[in-house]
């Protein structure tokens, strides 16, 4: 499917935060995009030697499932059903304000602590293959004793990869606890930033080529500003995520094994790399905009210079035509047999002389 032109793209719209004005604290109002299918409550249980996956049909099934041995991962895909979200939140004994934050999918990246649980709010980015728009969605991850609970506005592709690795027993996740699963989730979400950044870098290279080769293209400026918006969105998400990972690395909690904290340090280093890459791309975007405006200004100057040269050439010709157009009785040239042709010749010679002069001055 062909991609839409940049100026015809539209980012996914979230509900404005002002729609909750005046509501009491803890009011659960969904602020994200509507899914075409209903919510899915998926449960996974695993340990070194076993793996189990099922679909939960009711929040009442959560408590018995969490009582089972092994590491548990419950994933709620789709948050539009606020009644289901509240029921799930109450089953996990989450504070009402945290449930409200989960439903309001415009939350900034942050780390919250609620009793015996740690909740990480992070954003997932992925390029829409059909429209070319950079989609972003909120992911809330709650870490408890022996379990992980994820609340996803849209299903992240990274989580599907983690589930598949758990099924086949690939990697170290099956051999570690829930805190290691949290690390794997955050690590893969940060890795997705690298993919998006590479894509933005490729688009900037194409933009730079278009700026130099076709400076008059009207689509360039909207594409530059769209790229700027994407970089700002990425930067707005990665900087607080860096602080979250730093806090997880330093936090001494019974939910976090000391060995696992070292893994969070590695993800923290990745966020530093992402932030530096974003700053570099922002500089390239600014340079592309400056070059585009400079090329546009030079093109306008060339047009103005050409018009000025033409006006200058016709100025003496207009002057001569004005003199010979005066109706005085005593004007010998008017009655000369070859006056008309002489006047045209004088004008032509003047025009040629001025064009040669302008050419030598490199004004043409």
Alpha-carbon span 82 to 79, nearest angstrom: 7
Q: What is the pLDDT of residue 19?
A: 56
Q: Is residue 229 part of a domain?
A: no
Q: Is residue 227 part of a domain?
A: no
Nearest Cα residue to 354 out of 326, 324, 315: 315
**What is the number of other CB atoms lying within 10 angstroms of the CB of residue 250?**
10
Q: What is the pLDDT of residue 364?
A: 66
Final residue before a domain boundary, out of 120, 150, 172:
172
Q: Classify the C-alpha dihedral 60-65-66-68 as positive or negative.
A: positive
User: Do residues 25 and 163 both lie within one domain?
Assistant: yes
Q: What is the pLDDT of residue 7?
A: 44
Asked if the model's pLDDT at residue 2 lies above 70, the reply is: no
How high does pLDDT run on average in the chain?
83
Average pLDDT over residues 319-325: 76
Look at residue 291 and give its three-state secondary structure.
Answer: helix
Alpha-carbon span 230 to 14, nearest angstrom: 16
What tokens does 361 get? 């001055």
Q: Indicate which CATH number applies to the domain containing 147.
A: 3.30.460.20
Alpha-carbon span 299 to 149, nearest angstrom: 58
Final residue before a domain boundary, out of 146, 172, 198:
172
Q: What is the domain range of residue 149?
A: 21-172
Q: Please write the tens of the pLDDT for every residue from 330-339.
A: 677 667 777 7
Q: Please write the tens of the pLDDT for every residue from 148-195.
A: 999 998 888 889 999 999 998 878 888 899 999 999 999 999 999 999
Cα-only R_g, the chain = 34
Q: Is residue 122 part of a domain?
A: yes
- Number of folded domains in the chain? 2
Q: Please write the tens of the pLDDT for every residue from 89-106.
A: 888 888 888 988 898 888
273 or 323: which leads in pLDDT = 273
Residues 6+ apart with CB under 8 A from 44: 51, 52, 53, 72, 73, 74, 75, 163, 166
The answer to whether the beta carbons of residues 124 and 139 sit under 8 Å apart is yes
Q: Is residue 15 part of a domain?
A: no
Alpha-carbon span 190 to 88, nearest angstrom: 27
Beta strands across the sheet bearing 147-152 = 51-55, 40-46, 71-77, 147-152, 134-144, 117-127, 110-114
Instruction: Please provide residue 131's backbone torsions phi and psi, each rounded to the nearest 5 degrees.
Output: -100, -20
The answer to whether the beta carbons of residues 211 and 220 sit under 8 Å apart is yes
Q: What is the pLDDT of residue 36?
A: 66
User: Do residues 166 and 27 both lie within one domain?
Assistant: yes
270 or 26: which leads in pLDDT = 270
Q: Give pTM, 2 decimals.
A: 0.78
Q: What is the pLDDT of residue 5?
A: 41
Tracing tokens 């590695």 back to the chain, one arrives at: 266
Q: What is the DSSP-derived secondary structure letter of residue 140?
A: E
By mean pLDDT, which of 7-11, 265-269, 292-296 is the weakest?
7-11
Residue 209: alpha-carbon gap to chain centroid: 21
165 or 23: which leads in pLDDT = 165
Q: Is residue 149 part of a domain?
A: yes
Instruction: Please provide residue 175's backbone torsions phi and psi, each rounded to the nearest 5 degrees.
Output: -95, 0
The answer to whether the beta carbons of residues 76 and 40 sit under 8 Å apart is yes
Final residue before a domain boundary, out of 172, 193, 209:
172
The answer to whether the beta carbons of residues 33 and 13 sit under 8 Å apart is yes
Residue 27: alpha-carbon gap to chain centroid: 30
Q: Is residue 212 part of a domain?
A: no
Asked if the model's pLDDT at residue 44 lies above 70, the reply is: yes
**What is the number of other CB atoms lying within 10 angstroms of the CB of residue 358?**
16
Average pLDDT over residues 275-299: 86
Average pLDDT over residues 293-304: 78
Alpha-carbon span 176 to 180, nearest angstrom: 6
Q: Indicate which CATH number applies to the domain containing 342.
A: 1.20.58.340
**What is the number of other CB atoms lying within 10 angstroms of the CB of residue 26?**
12
Q: Is residue 27 part of a domain?
A: yes
What tokens does 343 get? 């006047």
Asked if the model's pLDDT at residue 140 lies above 90, the reply is: yes
Average pLDDT over residues 41-57: 91
H helices then E strands: how many in the chain?
8, 7
Q: Is residue 34 part of a domain?
A: yes
Bridge partners, residue 134, by sequence: 127
């Amino acid at each position: 499917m062909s991609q839409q032109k940049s100026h015809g793209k539209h980012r996914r719209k979230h509900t404005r935060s002002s729609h909750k004005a005046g509501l009491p604290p803890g009011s659960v109002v969904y602020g994200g995009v509507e899914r075409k299918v209903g919510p899915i409550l998926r449960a996974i249980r695993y340990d070194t030697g076993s793996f189990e996956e099922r679909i939960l049909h009711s929040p009442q099934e959560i408590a018995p499932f969490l009582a089972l041995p092994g590491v548990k991962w419950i994933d709620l895909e789709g948050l539009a059903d606020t009644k289901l979200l509240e029921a799930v939140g109450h089953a996990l004994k989450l504070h009402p304000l945290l449930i409200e934050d989960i439903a309001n999918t415009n939350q900034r990246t942050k780390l919250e602590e609620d009793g015996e649980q740690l909740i990480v709010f992070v954003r997932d980015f992925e390029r829409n293959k059909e429209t070319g728009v950079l989609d972003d969605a909120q992911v809330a991850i709650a870490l408890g004793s022996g379990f992980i609970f994820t609340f996803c506005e849209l299903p992240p592709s990274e989580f599907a990869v983690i589930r598949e690795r758990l099924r086949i027993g690939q990697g170290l996740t099956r051999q570690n606890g829930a805190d290691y699963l949290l690390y794997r989730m955050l690590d893969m979400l940060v890795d997705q930033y690298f993919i998006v950044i590479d894509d933005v870098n490729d688009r900037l290279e194409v933009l730079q080529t278009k700026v130099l080769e076709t400076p008059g293209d009207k689509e360039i400026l909207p594409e530059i500003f769209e790229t700027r918006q994407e970089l700002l969105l990425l930067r707005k998400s990665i900087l607080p995520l860096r602080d979250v990972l730093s806090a997880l690395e330093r936090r001494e909690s019974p939910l976090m094994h000391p060995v696992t904290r070292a893994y969070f340090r590695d993800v923290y280093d990745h966020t530093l790399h992402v932030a530096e890459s974003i700053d570099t791309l922002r500089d390239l975007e600014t340079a592309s905009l400056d070059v585009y405006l400079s090329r546009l200004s030079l093109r306008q100057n060339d047009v103005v210079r050409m018009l000025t040269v033409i006006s200058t050439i016709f100025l003496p010709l207009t002057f001569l035509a004005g003199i010979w157009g005066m109706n005085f009785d005593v004007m010998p040239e008017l009655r000369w047999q070859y006056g008309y042709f002489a006047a045209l010749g004088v004008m032509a010679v003047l025009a040629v002389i001025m064009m040669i002069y302008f050419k030598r001055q490199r004004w043409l």
